Structures are given as structure tokens and as C-alpha cells.
Amino acid sequence: MSSLVLMVAKDLRRRLRTPVGLIVLLIFPLAFAGMVGTAFGPSSGSGSGLPVITILMVDHDEDLLSNALQNATGNEQFSQQFDLVWIEVEDEARRMMDNGEASALLILPENFTTDLLDGKQVTLSLVKNPAESILPQVVEEMAGVLGVFLDTGVRILGEPLKMAGEMFDGVEDDSSLFPDNQALVALTLQAATQIRPISRYVFPPAMVFDTVSENDVALATLLQASPGDTTDDLLRRQATAAGNEELTDAAADDNGFNIFAVLLPMVSLMSILFMGDNGMRDLLAEEKAGTLTRQFASPAGVGRVLAGKIILTLVICSAAMLILAVVGMALGWISTSISLVGSVLQVGAIALAATGMSSFIYGFARSHRAAATFQSALVMGMSMLGGSMVPLSQMPDFLKAMAPYTINYWGIRGLTDLTVRGLGVADVLQEAGVLLLIGLLGMAIGWWRLSRRYALGANA
């Protein structure tokens, strides 16, 4: 046992002399979670994952369509995501943009309404804040959608809108100019004639009836549904009642929701699987250097030397998981009150599974180079299917059915049970058990195959 410990310690010291690859794999999940979490985390209470976007608006038109646009964007739902500040003087708006007080400035030109209704080309001027990257792009896309909406609306309702503008022209200054009932009825009928062919798309039914099973009714009863509940309320309650591993989008609306506690486990699993491959590649490096043959000829023998390489990989994966957890807690991404026993169990099981997978692949591959190539492709595939790249809740059903066949799935599910849901060791026994089984079987079979190959003198 002492000789095995000495071999692992020696290999570990040698690996730490060139730690660049391991450091990159450690930094990647922290950097990725930090960037994505900062950009899309619910930091401002908008509820969508983006902060509230401030847009300066300058209206040089002050006519029918620009006034309608101002009223339409003043509703509560729109205001939860966009803060539109209407500025009378363009120079003042540009000064505010220079001071970085908004993400973008949108300018409605003179004769905006008249030119649109006359079918002339209209240009909306958009000024983006160069100090921001994501939010101005959102505004640009929104402006594009607005242009399509206005173009379509004018094509369909151009004549009724032009008639309405003529009817109500001057009414604000002289109420006696208000159109009579006959004119209003004629305007309404003309608008209805234009809208009727597309009414099924413009005015979808307010309620849709569907047939539900007794199980659906039982689930609604179980969730204690009430008339005031929203769909998001029921989704959250269903996920809790069913022990569902997926985090619904509605969970992001909770004040205590921490997006970093979700992102870090997702990306960490992929990095740890790559670290397992990185650890086993030590065989290839030593074989090239000629040191592996000398170690096999020592009293330690083939079996013990290979066991040392596998244990080295386990130590590297375990240390990496521990470092990521400590850094996550230091940054406030992971709560320090999570179950210690559950965390140790899940982290150890993940490291063991990563080591077992690498040992198994290297044991059966024709060469270490082929093993490295195959494992890289396998890790990417499992990361895509298992939830490291895309949350499971966003995947189609046929991909969700494949997720349980990946290490990522069981690792992420157990970690999010601890970091997001605040569950304990008893709640991650299934996840840890599956990972431990994968790890132990993979290590045992991989060690047996490698020992047999080198004992027979085959090239690895």
C-alpha cells in the first residue's frame, strides 16, 4: 500500500509541474457560469432572466401612430422588461446616452405616421450603448420586430387608420369637431372588414377546452390548485411534488433563485469528465517517455502501476470538484449551508464515475490516442444529452428519454438537489448510487483490461 501511495504522490508532483491543462479545465466552468449568470441572471427582478432594459425614446412625430405606440408600451407586462423613457429634446437624449444612462436610443422621425400611411419608406434611428453588449442587441431585435409589425399593420389597416386620423384631426383643440355616430360606425365597419380574414390569428380564443384524464385531476388536487394560481405556480408545485429533476423556467421568478447554483454543476460535470481523460492520458505520456516500461519492470509490477495511474485520475477529479465547490461558495454561488455529507457523497461519486469511464475506455481502446479521441467525442455527446450544455427542461422529449444514460444527468441531478433545492444526503442516494456503480465497474474492468494488455506485452 505504501508503494502505491508513493507512486501516486510522485505522479501527482510531476503533473503539477505542468498544470496548464488542469487549470484551464478548472477555470472554464467558473468563467462560463459567471458570464452567463451575470448576463441572464434575475438580478433586477424583471422575471425573464434579463435585467430591465432602459430605452430612451424621442418622438418627432407626435401623431396617431407614435401616440398609439407610446400607449401600447406603457402596459405593466411590457414595463417589467423594458423601461421606456420618453424625452422631448433629442440633444438631451443623446447626452444621456453619452453618460451611459440607457442601453439604446430610438428616434421616431418627423411625419412618421403620415409617411407610413402613405406607403413611403420610414427610417427609425437606433443608437446603441457601446459599453454594453447583450442588452442593445435585444433592443435592436425589438426594433426589427416593431418595423415588421408596423409594416404589416399599415398594409391591413392603412385606410381605416388614415380615415381615423382625418376624423380626429383637431378634436383636442375643438371638441365640436368630434365625428358623429354615423362616421364612427362607418370607420368601425371598414376596420372590421379588413381584420375579419385574419381574425383567427389576431384574436385567438380566450379559453381552450381540452379533455383531461382522472390522473390529471388527481394531480391538480394533489397540487392544491386554486383559481388564483398561474401556470408557473402549478409547474413549480408539480416539480416539487413529483421530485422532478428539471428546473422549470418558472423557478427563475422566485426571489431566492440562484442561477449560478444551476449553471456551475451543469458545466462542472463536463469539465470533470474531460479531467478524467486528462488523467488517463498520463499513460500515453509515460509510454512515449519510456518510463512506463521501467515501472512495469520494477517490483511493483504491472497491476500496481496501473492501479496507481487510475487512483491518480481519481485524486485529480476529486480535487477539481472540491476546488470548484470551495470557489463557488467563496463567490456566493453555492450556499454554505448545504448538506456536507450529501455533498461529499455526490462529489466523490462523480469523481469515481469520471475515473471509471476513462479507465473503461482506455482499457478497451486499441491505442491510447484512439481512446483520447473517442472519449472527447463521448464527453461532448453526454454533455449535450445530459444537461451540461442545455437544461433538460428545454430539450425535446426524445432527447430527455436518453438523458438517464449519461453520467452528466445523474451528476447534475444530485448536485442541483443539494445546491438549488437544499435537499439532504437521503435525497441523493439514488444519484450517488448510480454514479458509484458506474465508477467501480469501470475502474475494475478498465484495470483488468489494461493489466492484461501490458502483461501480454501488447502496445497500448
In a domain, 374, yes or no: yes
In a domain, 154, yes or no: yes
In a domain, 280, yes or no: yes
For 67, the 3-state DSSP assignment is: helix
In a domain, 131, yes or no: yes
What is the spatial distance between Cα 428 and Cα 414, in angstroms, rounded to a whole number? 5
**3 Cα distance to chain centroid:** 46
Q: 144 is written with which cell numbers?
A: 426589427
CATH of the domain at 178: 3.40.1710
Task: Look at residues 192, 223, 247 and tell me which one is the last residue of a structural domain.
Answer: 247
Verify that 317 and 365 share a domain, yes or no. Answer: yes
Verify that 158 and 298 share a domain, yes or no. Answer: no
Verify that 194 and 271 share a domain, yes or no. Answer: no
What is the spatial distance between Cα 290 and Cα 297, in angstroms, rounded to a whole number? 12
Verify that 334 and 435 share a domain, yes or no. Answer: yes
User: Which residue has 457601446 as its cell numbers?
Assistant: 130
Verify that 185 and 329 share a domain, yes or no. Answer: no
Verify that 241 and 328 share a domain, yes or no. Answer: no
Residue closest to 439 by CA, chosen among 268, 243, 272, 246: 272
Q: pLDDT at position 1, please?
A: 57
**8-state DSSP, 76:** H
**Chain segment 108-143, per-residue pLDDT in tens:** 989 888 888 787 888 889 999 988 877 888 888 888
Verify that 153 and 37 share a domain, yes or no. Answer: no
Domain around 176: 53-202
**pTM for this prediction:** 0.54
Verify that 274 and 170 share a domain, yes or no. Answer: no
**Total domain count, the chain:** 3
In a domain, 252, yes or no: no
Phi, psi of 147 (to 5 degrees): -60, -45
Helices (H), 52-133: 64-72, 76-79, 90-98, 112-117
**Report for 38-42, 216-220, 364-368: range of highest mean pLDDT:** 364-368
**Residue 199 binned pLDDT confidence (cut-offs 50, 70, 90):** low
**Residue 245 binned pLDDT confidence (cut-offs 50, 70, 90):** very low
Strands 104-108 and 125-128: antiparallel
**Residue 407 binned pLDDT confidence (cut-offs 50, 70, 90):** very high
Angstrom distances, CA of residue 202 to CA of 142, 151, 186, 188, 382: 19, 15, 21, 16, 43
Give the neighbor-by-neighbor strand order of the sheet with 125-128.
Answer: 82-87, 53-59, 104-108, 125-128
What is the spatial distance between Cα 434 and Cα 436, in angstroms, rounded to a whole number? 6
Query: 374 burial class (0-12, 13-18, 19+ CB within 10 angstroms)?
Result: middle
Q: How many CA atoms lie within 13 A of 413 on its CB side?
A: 25
Angstrom distances, CA of residue 5 to CA of 1, 17, 83, 305: 6, 19, 62, 11
In a domain, 47, yes or no: no
Verify that 322 and 372 share a domain, yes or no. Answer: yes
Please tell me the least confidently modeled range out of 281-290, 327-336, 379-388.
281-290
Q: pLDDT at position 94, please?
A: 93
Verify that 375 and 433 share a domain, yes or no. Answer: yes
In a domain, 207, yes or no: no
Verify that 342 and 239 share a domain, yes or no. Answer: no
**Chain segment 36-82, per-residue pLDDT in tens:** 776 655 544 444 445 788 999 999 888 777 777 777 666 666 777 78
Q: Are 259 and 49 in contact (CB under 8 A)?
A: yes
In a domain, 242, yes or no: yes
Verify that 119 and 226 share a domain, yes or no. Answer: no
